[in-house]
Structure 1
Amino acid sequence: MVSSIASPSDAEAFRTLNEEWIARLFTLEEADRAVLGDPFGRIVDPGGDVLLAREPDSGTVVGCVALLAHPDAVFELAKMAVDPDAQGRGIGRLLVAAAIDRARELGGTRLFLGTNSRLAPAVHLYEDAGFVRITRDRLPVADYYARADILMELG
């Protein structure tokens, strides 16, 4: 079950899931802290969304993905995380599909993302969903995460 962020506890789950993997594999950047610390103000209010995957029985958040709104109907798929104990169950695939649908519902005409070559399962997931690699000069934003060595957009 995937739903939009709706409460402070949802925001906390979003922050916790993302901080865990980013801090474990990379360096938590100031841009990460800003978005994760205020998803309503930094993502939802400007026209984006945060989608959460929940366990059907308990409602526990086991995965998340953000859609950040940029000018000209451009959206960024970002901050995707799945609880390590829930990985391998198709939750990431479900979240990517839901994010693509939600970006379209929000009027998006372009969807891009940045990832890292160390995240091979995520790269494969994005490619399976129709994302293709682009060069940095094709990014619709000026400053972007240092850790993003693979840039993609939905083909």
Structure 2
Amino acid sequence: MNGSDPRHDDAALVTIAAATVAEAAVAALRAAADERDLAQEVRGIDSLPEREIQPMLATGFEAAGLHPLREVRFPSRAGEPVRSVGTRCDFVLRTSDAPLDLGDEIDAEDDEPDEGPGLFAELDPEPLDASGVSSVMDPESAFWLEVKTGAAC
């Protein structure tokens, strides 16, 4: 995603500070822990598996004004022919609700002119904002976050 791509305006790239993400995550987990304490639950949030913590984090990110996407496949890589193949990231945080340009070129190869669009063919034109500039977000301007849990030392 270099500056030569005319679909992306480098001046419009807004990065998300790690401190913003950390503060949102701490606030969300603290609120969830307080709810469990108030309910006098036997186990705290530290006993939850990663998949149960993720919705708590998503709520916190939304409360902080971020737009989280869950389980997003990393941008396309050569040799990965289908969208279900590839490593996924737990959260992709965006400053706006714009779609990500993940470089999926799946249907670009081997298209027959007589056939209709393929299953993953992009049917709509790329979204534009009011000024006519693409509203698709460069993946490099998003905050990619992998969540892991583990035993306390």
Give the TM-score, by structure 1 length.
Answer: 0.25
Q: Larger % of helix: which?
A: 1
| Greater RCO, 1 or 2 (C-alpha within 8 Å, sep 6+) | 2
Give the TM-score, by structure 2 length.
Answer: 0.25
Structure of higher CA gyration radius:
2
